[in-house]
Structure 1
Amino acid sequence: MKKLDRRKFLKATSASALSLASLSTVTSTLTSFSASAQENDDYKALVCVFLFGGLDNHEVVLPYDEENWQAYAAIRESLLSPQGANRERENLLPLFPLNQSTFGAREFALPPELSRIKKLFDEGNAAIIGNVGPLIRPTDRKSFEENSVLLPPRLFSHNDQQSVWQANAPEGAQFGWGGLFADAAIAQNPAQSVDFSTISSSSDALFLTGTLARPYQISTDGAASIQLLKRFENSEDTFDQRLYQQLRAHFSGEINETSHLITQDVINLMQNSLAANEKYNRSKNESEPLTTSFPASPLGQQLRVIAESISMRNNLNVNRQVFFVGIGNFDTHSDQASNLPKLLEQVDESIDAFYRSMQSLGLGSDVTLFTASDFGRTLTVNGDGTDHGWGGHHFVVGDAVIGQQILGDIPPPAFEHDKDAGNGRLIPSVSIEQFASPLGRWFGLSEEEIANTFPNLENFQTNELRFI
């Protein structure tokens, strides 16, 4: 008989028997709930918006100077034509970065679907970090083709590159750098609630998993609840109330004393999860509603519940939080001209609403949002779509951001240059470590904590990207 793996058993049990529960509460101890928690003046939060499937970097930041636009349009004619006026040069949204001198005569623009992010950029509240991706050491076309430099594992694979982006290791990794950031914050402030230090509205939560921090899962309706308890809780019927008390005692573990190790672990999971969910929902009910309207899209609603969670920060007893949201369908091998603009518009509307909600909460300088994705895509067109790439372009948004900058690199729309891995698949100019380290410093991590989080950081130049 195959030996029972305790870790796997707990994971399976918590998923099936406790859909209400977050795995964050397996080892944590709930702090007592206080509706009159002290106002927290030292609050910071990071929000990762993960675009699953591989965002086409070549259609996020487009060339705008005449020479490079013509080269780009010739390569991508079959993707530009179906989009009509939206991809005509005169209808693009030109960027005027403060560091324009870095790029000489080259100019850049955003597509019309990103008009709100463009406004944030112009106002100095958003920056673009160009050509970011996983690296182990600085790499160029020559070293890539000669295989003379150590490369990230399993390039161009969705699952593995999602994992590498979130955890510096391929599928199977244990700890994400968002979770390790939260670990450092918990160690610095032991009074902070562990349970709500990392919160995810996406099913993928590797990014938020640390040694102490465990992702607390919420839905667009808030924390989960047990439907049987909700059904009988407010009933005036005596039998219903007796049944409610029995069910509550069962789910909270009050009537399940046992010496069996695995059974006790499951009971603890149930008990702590129920308490955490009730605390979260109680905090939500006692909080003022958001005044910002969010789009009804999947990303808009995920960012809405993240904004609600941030508004509850004092009742949840947290002064540092890391959040993870995600949407899919960016794997645009086909029908890209029809699908990608709609996705970009969803990203634009949702991020803008989230930014405005932080303004209304007075937290514009205390919350920083950034995008991430599996990889970029090829410059070449496969017919009506694009294929898996490597480096990609990303946004960082918030009042703390040193905005109206394009940092990193935007390679030209051409082939066989120093950063071309083939077919316009970009070799990253900025490693994930270089992208994430400034966020960690802003979040409050020491240089030692950053080095422990990113062991490969020492392989890259130490000069910091100055975007926050």
Structure 2
Amino acid sequence: MTGGAGFALDLARFNAFAAQTGGYRALVCVFLFGGMDCHDTVIPYDTTNYNRYADIRSSLFNRYDDLEGGSTRARDRLLPMTLANASDFGGRQFALPPELGPLHELMDENACSIVSNVGPLVVPVTRDDYQNRSAPLPPRLFSHNDQQSVWMASQPEGARFGWGGRLADVMLEANANQDSTFTVVSTSGNQVFLSGQLAGQFEVGSNGPAVIRGIDDDNYLSSDALPALYESHLRAQNETLSNLLQRDYASAVNRSIDANRTLAESFEAPAPFATVFPQNYLGQQLQVVARVIAQRAVLGVNRQIFFVGIGGFDSHSGQANSIPNRHGEIASAMRAFYDATVEMGVGNDVTAFTASDFGRTLTVNRDGTDHGWGAHHLVVGGGLAGSRMHGTFPEPVLEHAYDSGNGRLIPTTSVDQFAATFGRWFGLNDTELDDALPGLSNFSTRDIGLFTGAAI
């Protein structure tokens, strides 16, 4: 999308305090690896469109019918949504599957919204544009690894900077945080989404800060004296280093050890919330994120971006057996996370959102679905502008203006617009958004209206 060169912020352009850095704000990206089926997540509910949808998905619905307890996709078991902007959809109605019940409750509390048909775009694209190749398209569509990277960084696998890292760079340039170490934090390994020029991601495990074997693990080395010697060696405390690479490496090791200990010490006290998180992988990760947020004053941060992730969404077969469980994990974990932020007094200051490789086809291959493009995503937080669905929700038919084939949705909201909306809430001004998101200038709408009021 940019000739493979990679994005780089022109940080020198900015007044160091242009971004709004007051108070506390955090973004949490919940990445669903494998491509979550958006058509099985937000479901048409008015009779006409539900019947059209059920007809196209009849073979998959038969699989739901075979499940113990009966089909959870039967219309009378769905959870209809009462949208604050229902009039935008001309009488059409929508529902969530029962496994997303905890998030349906949050919609009733005006703390959950949906962004429909969002995905990577270079410029706005229609079905004719796609078929005639008359508009530039994102690179390597429908490839898992590449589309994960395009979602996170606007480029295929090999990208250097992600939009989360670029938003964080602006905040670090504006001196939003006393210490940059905990600005971007991942519980799901090293991810390009958090990679910036100034922002270096700090990784924690799903159970909290890592134990550094040989230093912090008393059982790892045979002698009580060895951990101190080993730490001294890693820190190069008694060495004179003339090589610049050696110096940089030693400096990085020192910062890592010190930062990990700072965070580990903060985790020694009981969690400052009573919310019980579900004992699933996503719940464990979000509980760690909540614990880190609770230490924001100790860590010296006003702005943070987190990345958590789970897999299991590449549902080419057996979708009726897998997706309900994944939905249940998402809903229970995100609900608990929101409740914990409310307990800590930052419910309006923390926003979590889902992202994924891509959506999936509306058509099915007997008991599964194939790789798609645009998808519907969930946003949770107390600062949202009520229970709404944003964007365009194509009808459940084939060969409409935004069908690239088999009900594979062409996005009507770009990831750049999605990211810019979060960036504005995070505190970036228009100039900073344009620099952090170079593709944003190709779209007329810069803020899709997720949040109430001004950015701060």
Q: TM-score, normalised by structure 1?
A: 0.88
Residue 105 of structure 1 corresponds to 91
Residue 319 of structure 2 corresponds to 336
Residue 259 of structure 2 corresponds to 276
2:66 maps to 1:80: no
The one-letter code of the counterpart of 1:116 is P
Structure 2: segments with no counterpart, 5+ residues? 1-20, 66-70, 452-456
- C-alpha distance in 2, partners of 1:261/1:204? 25
Taking a change above 3 Å as real, the CA distance of residues 252 and 287 of structure 1, as seen in their structure-2 partners, is farther
- C-alpha distance in 1, partners of 2:445/2:396? 29
Taking a change above 3 Å as real, the CA distance of residues 93 and 207 of structure 1, as seen in their structure-2 partners, is same
Residue 39 of structure 2 corresponds to 58
Partner of 1:115, secondary structure, is helix
C-alpha deviations, 1:211-269, integer Å up to 9, x for none?
A: 0001100002222222222344999xxx9453333122112221233212333332222
2:367 maps to 1:384: yes
User: Which structure carries more helix by proportion?
Assistant: 1
- Identify the match of residue 397 of structure 2 among 414, 428, 441: 414
- C-alpha distance in 1, partners of 2:247/2:190? 27
By how many angstroms is 1:325 displaced? 0.3
Partner of 1:263, secondary structure, is helix
Are 2:190 and 2:203, in contact at CA under 8 Å, matched by a contact in 1?
A: no
Residue 80 of structure 2 corresponds to 94
C-alpha deviations, 1:75-96, integer Å up to 9, x for none?
A: 1112112223311101100112
- C-alpha distance in 1, partners of 2:393/2:377? 11
Are 1:283 and 1:316, in contact at CA under 8 Å, matched by a contact in 2?
A: no
Residue 165 of structure 1 corresponds to 151
C-alpha deviations, 1:18-71, integer Å up to 9, x for none?
A: xxxxxxxxxxxxxxxxxxxxxx97111000000000010101110111111111
Residue 6 of structure 2 corresponds to none
Residue 327 of structure 1 corresponds to 310
Taking a change above 3 Å as real, the CA distance of residues 231 and 453 of structure 1, as seen in their structure-2 partners, is closer
Taking a change above 3 Å as real, the CA distance of residues 289 and 464 of structure 1, as seen in their structure-2 partners, is closer
Taking a change above 3 Å as real, the CA distance of residues 79 and 204 of structure 1, as seen in their structure-2 partners, is farther
C-alpha deviations, 1:127-185, integer Å up to 9, x for none?
A: 11100000011100011111100111111011111111101111111011111111111
Partner of 1:384, secondary structure, is coil
Residue 164 of structure 2 corresponds to 178
Are 1:128 and 1:396, in contact at CA under 8 Å, matched by a contact in 2?
A: yes
Residue 154 of structure 1 corresponds to 140
- Identify the match of residue 257 of structure 1 among 226, 231, 240: 240
- C-alpha distance in 2, partners of 1:250/1:225? 18
- C-alpha distance in 2, partners of 1:175/1:428? 23
By how many angstroms is 1:289 displaced? 4.3
The one-letter code of the counterpart of 1:86 is T
2:26 maps to 1:45: yes
- C-alpha distance in 2, partners of 1:146/1:259? 59
By how many angstroms is 1:191 displaced? 5.0
Taking a change above 3 Å as real, the CA distance of residues 204 and 379 of structure 1, as seen in their structure-2 partners, is farther
Are 1:115 and 1:348, in contact at CA under 8 Å, matched by a contact in 2?
A: yes
- C-alpha distance in 1, partners of 2:239/2:99? 55
Are 1:95 and 1:109, in contact at CA under 8 Å, matched by a contact in 2?
A: yes
Residue 115 of structure 2 corresponds to 129
2:194 maps to 1:213: no
The one-letter code of the counterpart of 1:134 is P
- C-alpha distance in 1, partners of 2:445/2:358? 24
- C-alpha distance in 1, partners of 2:22/2:154? 32
Partner of 2:351, secondary structure, is strand
Taking a change above 3 Å as real, the CA distance of residues 98 and 368 of structure 1, as seen in their structure-2 partners, is same
- C-alpha distance in 2, partners of 1:231/1:457? 48
Q: TM-score, normalised by structure 2?
A: 0.90
Are 2:207 and 2:285, in contact at CA under 8 Å, matched by a contact in 1?
A: no
By how many angstroms is 1:106 displaced? 1.3
Q: Once the two structures are aligned, what percentage of the paired residues are identical?
A: 46
C-alpha deviations, 1:415-439, integer Å up to 9, x for none?
A: 1100100000000000001111111
Are 2:211 and 2:217, in contact at CA under 8 Å, matched by a contact in 1?
A: no
- C-alpha distance in 1, partners of 2:153/2:100? 29
- C-alpha distance in 1, partners of 2:330/2:245? 43
- C-alpha distance in 2, partners of 1:75/1:285? 53
Q: How does 1:239-254 map to 2 (within 5 A)?
A: 240-254=223-237
- C-alpha distance in 2, partners of 1:297/1:143? 43
Taking a change above 3 Å as real, the CA distance of residues 278 and 74 of structure 1, as seen in their structure-2 partners, is same
The one-letter code of the counterpart of 2:374 is G
Partner of 2:259, secondary structure, is helix
2:354 maps to 1:371: yes
Are 1:251 and 1:274, in contact at CA under 8 Å, matched by a contact in 2?
A: no
Partner of 2:114, secondary structure, is strand
Aligned pair count? 426
Residue 458 of structure 1 corresponds to 441
The one-letter code of the counterpart of 1:388 is H
Partner of 1:337, secondary structure, is helix
- C-alpha distance in 1, partners of 2:250/2:439? 40
- C-alpha distance in 2, partners of 1:416/1:175? 36
Are 1:200 and 1:325, in contact at CA under 8 Å, matched by a contact in 2?
A: yes
Partner of 1:404, secondary structure, is coil
Q: How does 1:287-326 map to 2 (within 5 A)?
A: 288-326=271-309
Are 2:177 and 2:302, in contact at CA under 8 Å, matched by a contact in 1?
A: no
- C-alpha distance in 1, partners of 2:339/2:153? 30
By how many angstroms is 1:446 displaced? 1.1
Partner of 1:212, secondary structure, is coil
- C-alpha distance in 2, partners of 1:144/1:354? 39
Partner of 2:115, secondary structure, is strand
The one-letter code of the counterpart of 1:215 is Q
C-alpha deviations, 1:341-386, integer Å up to 9, x for none?
A: 1001100000000000001101101101111001000001012100
Residue 428 of structure 1 corresponds to 411
